[in-house]
Amino acid sequence: MSGAVRARAGLAVLAAWGAIALAAPLLPLRDPNAQPDGLVLRTLPPMSRVDALVATDGSVRYAHELRRDPDGGLSFRRGETWTKVSEPGVTPARALFVLGTDSYGRDLLSRLVWGARVSLVAGLLAALVAVVIGGSVGLVAGLAGGRVDAILMRATDAALAIPRLFLLLLLAALFRPSLATTVVLVGATTWMAAARLVHGEVLSVRERDFVAAARAAGASPVRLGLRHVLPHAAAVLGVEASLRLGQAVLLEASLSFLGLGVPPPAASWGGLIADGRDRLLDAWWIATWPGIALAGVVIAASLVADGARRRI
């Protein structure tokens, strides 16, 4: 596979997950957080079919077994007890759980899809925060030069040397975890690469004629930076943003896995893996699907970044 094909495949994977995440409310999925029947539905393996009873109002009851009584009525079994269906209009059905269920009987397919919303939104916003912070630091340092430049870039180097997860744990201990804090914290600890890249780009265009011309024409420092210098760093920033997206999704997942990210019952991929951790021995599927989805998104993001880098 050539680089361009790989980049396109990565883009397709990202676009597909983005579309799935956007369309989640429209898809015919069960409620991701509902626990309709812990007894019948808990830890069903993938592709399980379960007997169900659909009432006239569309509500569904699940059962271990259904039977026709001699009098033509319908009975269902949950655990050891048989119950006769008394209300009229109830029809038997078979419910399919494509990816299985977790230990509370929640549908893993809908949790995976709704989890994509949380994980991808968190990753995207965190990547944005990182690129904006890093881009500003790099731009200001490069344009200001001298002592400001030295201090800002030293601070960037120093920030790179701090083990990120330890700092994130400290922050999680101090600030109550939520989607917003997770996004800000992940962004605020991953901006350094963007700062270095933009700094390098700014240094290479700072002395060019068009910058001098703009300055001579009386452009303010802000206008100079945003309108004349920043566009030249846009390509590098784009590559960094796609790379950062994958890493931010991973970092959010690590935090959620540790129980310090997006709080439950909201499904995020890291949280789903954490759910499956305790059932690893008897229900491998709970942790497996979100792991594959996560790795897929990260690989796709790095393929896209590789492809974009090759083009510039």
Interacting residue ranges for other proteins, rule: CB under 8 A:
155, 158, 160-167, 169-175, 246, 250, 253-254, 257-260, 270, 273, 276-277, 280-281, 284, 287-288, 290-291, 294-295, 298-299, 302
Strands of the sheet containing 48-54, edge to edge, are 60-63, 48-54, 91-97
Write the CB contacts of 157 (distance below 8 Å, at least 6 apart in sequence). 192
Between 50 and 239, CB nearer to other proteins: 239
CB of 21 to other proteins, least distance (A): 18
Between 4 and 213, CB nearer to other proteins: 4
Between 224 and 245, CB nearer to other proteins: 245
Between 122 and 171, CB nearer to other proteins: 171
CB of 127 to other proteins, least distance (A): 16
CB of 139 to other proteins, least distance (A): 22
Nearest to residue 264, comparing CAs of 273, 4, 140? 273
Q: Is 13 in a helix, a strand, or coil? A: helix
CB of 251 to other proteins, least distance (A): 9
CB of 171 to other proteins, least distance (A): 7
**Cβ(305)–Cβ(298) below 8 Å:** no
The number of CA neighbours under 13 Å toward the Cβ of 258 is 16
Beta partners for residue 164, in sequence order? none
Between 51 and 252, CB nearer to other proteins: 252
Nearest to residue 133, comparing CAs of 261, 20, 248? 248
